A and B are shown apart, each in its own frame.
Chain A
Amino acid sequence: MTPDENTPDGENRRPGDGVDGTGARRRRMDGGTPEEPAAGAGRTDGATNPSGSATDGLPGAPLEAARDALAGTDFRALDAVVYGLYGVAMLFFAFPVLWIVSASLRPEGELLSLPFRLVPGEVSLSAYRQVFREGMLTWLFNSTVITVVGVGSIVAVSVPAAYAFSRFRFRGRRQLLGLVLLFQMISSVIIIVPLYSVMTSLNLIDTRVGLILLYVGIQTPFSIWLLKGYFDTIPEELDYAARIDGCNRLQTLRHVLLRPIAPGIAVVAIFNTVFLWSEFVLAYTVLGSERSLYTISIGVYEFQSQFGNDWRAIAAASVVGMLPLVTVFVALQRYFVKGLIEGSLKGQ
C-alpha cells in the first residue's frame, strides 16, 4: 500500500472548491490494481487517484458547474443542513469520549459536573495513579502480548490457507470454503457455554496461549476469506513464471505473492488488532479467574465492579484502555478506515 495511493478525502481537497465536487466521485470502479487489489469494498475512503484527475475534466463538467451555480441558493440551504448534521454528529460521537477524558483528569475533590465544564479547573493525575496501582500495567502488558502474538499467529495461519484455497483445486474445496464462511458468520458468543469445559479438558484454561489459540480459531475464517480475495486478483501466470524460474510453491509465495497481497495482510492485521484488543467475553471465560492474566477489558471491568462509584477512576481506566487503539487509529487513519471497511464487510 503506497501512501500516495490512498489519500483520505478531504486531505487533498481544498475547502471551497465546491462546484467541481462531482469529479471526486469518478474513482476507479475496477477490481483494483496489482499493487492494491480491492477485495470487496476496496476503495470507499474517497481516494482521489492522482492519475485519475485527468478524467475529472470530462466534457460534462463545465456544464454541470454552470447548472450548479444557477442552483446556488438551493446548495447553500443544503450546505447549512449538512453542516448542522456534522455538528450534531460530532457532538454525539465525540462528546462522551471527551467527557471521559475530562472526568479522568479531575482532582479528587472536584465533582463531575458541578460546575459543568469540559476542561477541569485543575488537572490531576491521581485517578491514573490509582488505576496503575490496581495493576493496569499488567493488563496493558497482557493485552499487548496477546494482541501481538495473536495477530501474528492469525496471519501466519490464514495466509497459507488462503493461498491453498486460491491456488489449489482439490476435492471438497468448495464445501470447505463454505464451512469456513459459516464459521465466520457464527458469533463467538455462542461457544462461551461449552468453552470452559473445552479449555479445561485441553489444559488451556488460565493460559495466554489458550486464549491466543482460541482467537486463531475464531478469527481465521474471516482472515482467510479476505486474503483469498486478494490472492484471487493476482494472475496465476505470475506463479507459473516463478515456477519456471525454479521456485517451489513456498518460495513463490514468499518471493512473488507476498508483496502484492501485503495490503490484504495489513487489513487483516488491523481488523484483528481491534478485535483482539477489545474482546471481552472469551478472554473473561478463559482468563477471568487469574488476576495476573487479565487483559485490558477484563481488568477495566473488574476494576469498575470494585470501585463502583468512583467515576474518576473508572474514567481513567477507560481512557488508558482505549488510548492505545485510538492512538494507532489516529496515526494510521487512512489504512484503518480501509481495514475496518473491508474487515467488517467480510468479517464477524
Chain B
Amino acid sequence: MIRVATAGEDGPAAAGVERARGLLRRLVDHPLPWLLPTLAALAVFQLYPLFEAVRLSLTDEVLTATGTEFVGLQNYVDLFTSIGFRRMVVVTAVFAVSSIVLHTLFGLILALAIDYGVRRGLRGHLTTRVSVLLAWIVPGIIIGLIWKVMLVESQLGAINYLLGQVGVGPVPFRSNPALALVSTIVAGTWRGTAFAMIMIYGGLQRIPQRLYEAARVDGAGRWARFRHVTVPQLKPVLFVTVVLVTIYALNTFDLIFALTNGGPGRATEVFALFMYRKAFSEYALGEGAAVAVVLLGVNLLLTAVYLYAFDIGDEI
C-alpha cells in the first residue's frame, strides 16, 4: 500500500519538475527576466526621482510646511531673475573653466612625461603615476579635509609656513573670497588631474606606431612628430576629456562641501552646493528642485556633446 502511494505520487511530482524546467527554459529564453532587476532599479532610483524633481520644481513645496501648491514656472522665473543665482553661475563658471584648463593641461603634461619616461626607461615614472592616481582615489570629503589642514591660515598650515619662509603671508586661503575659490580649484585639480592624465595617456597609447615611423621616414624631427602626429591624433581624446571634466566640475559637491562649504559668504558656492542649500538649509524644496532641473538640462546638453564626440571620435 505504501508502495502504491509512492508510485502514485511520483508521477505528478516528476511532471511538476518537468513543467518547472520547461517554464525556466522559456523564462531564460526571454530577455525580460534578465533585465527585470535593472529596469526596476532604474525606474525606482533614477526615473522616479527625476520625475519627482520636475514635479517638485513646479510647486512651492517647503520641507517644513504641509500644504503645497502648483506654481507653474514661478520657481524658474524667480531663479533666473535672482542675483544669487547669477552670482552662483559666475562662481561655477570660474571653477569649471579653471578646472578644465588646469586638469587637461596638467594631465596632458604628465601623460606626455610618463609616456616619454616609459619609452626612455627613466626612473620614477611609476612612482609619479601612483602618486597622481593616489590623489584620485581619496574620498572627496577627505580631500576637502586634507586641503583644509594644508591651508590652515596661520604658520601652522604647511603652505602658509612655507610661504612664511619666503616672507609671504600668512595668506587667508579660506576666508578671502577670491583666494577661497582658488583653493577649491587647487584641491579640485589635485584630485582631477589623474583622470585627465589617464585619459590622455590612454589616447597616446592608441596612436598607431606606424604614423611615427612614417613621419621618421619622412625626416620629421621630434618636435615635428609631436606637432603633426601626436597633436592631431590626440584631438578626439582631448575633446572627450574636456567634456567629461566639464561634467565632473559642474557636479562637484563633496570636496567643496568639506573644504569651504560654499563660503566665505557664497564665494565658492557652485551649482550643486547652491541647490543643496536651497533645498536643505532653506527648506525650499520647490526652488531646490528647479535648480536641480536646470543642472539636469546642462548635464543633458553636455551628454549630447559627448555622444556627438563619440561618433566623430572614432570610438574613443
A interface vs B, CB < 8 Å?
8-11, 13-18, 20-22, 24-27, 29, 40-41, 43-44, 46, 60, 64, 71, 74-75, 78-79, 82-83, 85-86, 89-90, 92-97, 99-100, 103, 111-114, 116, 156-158, 160-161, 163-165, 168, 170, 173, 176, 179-183, 185-187, 189-195, 197-198, 202, 213-214, 216-218, 220-221, 224, 248-250, 274, 277-278, 280-281, 296-297, 300-301, 304, 311, 314-315, 317-318, 321-322, 325-326, 329-330, 333, 336-337, 340-341, 344-345, 348
Cα(A17)–Cα(B123), bound, Å: 11
Cα(A161)–Cα(B37), bound, Å: 8
A190 and B190 within 8 A (CB): no
Q: Does B258 contact A (CB under 8 A)?
A: yes
Given contacts A96-B146, A198-B49, is CB(A187)–CB(B139) below 8 Å?
no
Given contacts A8-B126, A90-B131, A301-B258, is CB(A163)–CB(B34) below 8 Å?
yes
Query: Which of A75, A185, A325 sits near B137, CB closer than 8 Å?
Result: A325
Chain A interface, >50% SS class:
helix
Q: Which residues of A contact B231 (CB under 8 A)?
A: none
B198 and A278 within 8 A (CB): no
B76-84, B89-97, B199-207: which lies at the A interface?
B199-207
Within 8 A of A (CB), among B201-227: 201-202, 205-206, 208-209, 212-213, 216, 222
Q: List 18 A-B contacts (CB under 8 A).
A: A10-B118, A11-B126, A18-B120, A43-B205, A82-B116, A93-B135, A99-B150, A160-B38, A185-B306, A186-B50, A187-B250, A213-B45, A217-B42, A220-B41, A249-B28, A296-B139, A325-B139, A344-B199
Cα(A75)–Cα(B177), bound, Å: 45
B205 and A220 within 8 A (CB): no
Chain A proximity mask over B239-265: 1 for CB below 8 Å, otherwise 0 = 000001001101101100110000000
B190 and A92 within 8 A (CB): yes
B46 and A183 within 8 A (CB): yes
Given contacts A10-B125, A96-B147, A248-B25, is CB(A46)–CB(B131) below 8 Å?
no
A220 and B38 within 8 A (CB): yes
Cα(A301)–Cα(B261), bound, Å: 11
Given contacts A44-B205, A186-B300, is CB(A170)–CB(B31) below 8 Å?
yes
Q: What's the minimum C-beta distance from B242 to chain A, rounded to whole angstroms?
A: 14
Q: What's the minimum C-beta distance from B237 to chain A, rounded to whole angstroms?
A: 9
B136 and A340 within 8 A (CB): yes
Within 8 A of A (CB), among B72-121: 109-110, 113, 116-121
B257 and A280 within 8 A (CB): yes
Cα(A26)–Cα(B41), bound, Å: 43
B127 and A90 within 8 A (CB): yes
User: Closest 6 A-B residue pairs measured CB to CB?
Assistant: A217-B45, A278-B139, A21-B119, A44-B202, A194-B52, A164-B34
B121 and A190 within 8 A (CB): no
Query: Which of B118, B134, B276, B316 sits near A13, CB closer than 8 Å?
Result: B118
Cα(A197)–Cα(B300), bound, Å: 24
Cα(A264)–Cα(B83), bound, Å: 48
Q: Does B281 contact A (CB under 8 A)?
A: no
Q: Which residues of A contact B125 (CB under 8 A)?
A: 9-10, 86
A218 and B45 within 8 A (CB): yes
Given contacts A100-B149, A161-B37, A315-B149, is CB(A248)–CB(B24) below 8 Å?
yes
B199 and A182 within 8 A (CB): no
B156 and A111 within 8 A (CB): yes
B138 and A214 within 8 A (CB): no
Closest B residue by C-beta to A46: B118
B44 and A217 within 8 A (CB): yes
Q: What's the minimum C-beta distance from A343 to chain B, rounded to whole angstroms?
A: 10
Cα(A94)–Cα(B169), bound, Å: 24
Cα(A238)–Cα(B132), bound, Å: 41
B161 and A157 within 8 A (CB): no
A160 and B146 within 8 A (CB): no
Q: Does B182 contact A (CB under 8 A)?
A: no
Q: What's the minimum C-beta distance from B163 to chain A, rounded to whole angstroms?
A: 11
Q: Which residues of B contact A17 (CB under 8 A)?
A: 121
Q: What's the minimum C-beta distance from A173 to chain B, rounded to whole angstroms?
A: 8
Q: Which residues of B contact A90 (CB under 8 A)?
A: 124, 127-128, 131
B208 and A29 within 8 A (CB): yes
Closest B residue by C-beta to A182: B303
Cα(A193)–Cα(B250), bound, Å: 17
Q: What's the minimum C-beta distance from B69 to chain A, rounded to whole angstroms?
A: 17
Q: Which residues of B contact A213 (CB under 8 A)?
A: 41, 44-45
Cα(A300)–Cα(B300), bound, Å: 33
Q: Does B234 contact A (CB under 8 A)?
A: no
Closest B residue by C-beta to A143: B139
Query: Which of B110, B126, B202 sits near A341, CB closer than 8 Å?
Result: B202
Q: Does B299 contact A (CB under 8 A)?
A: yes
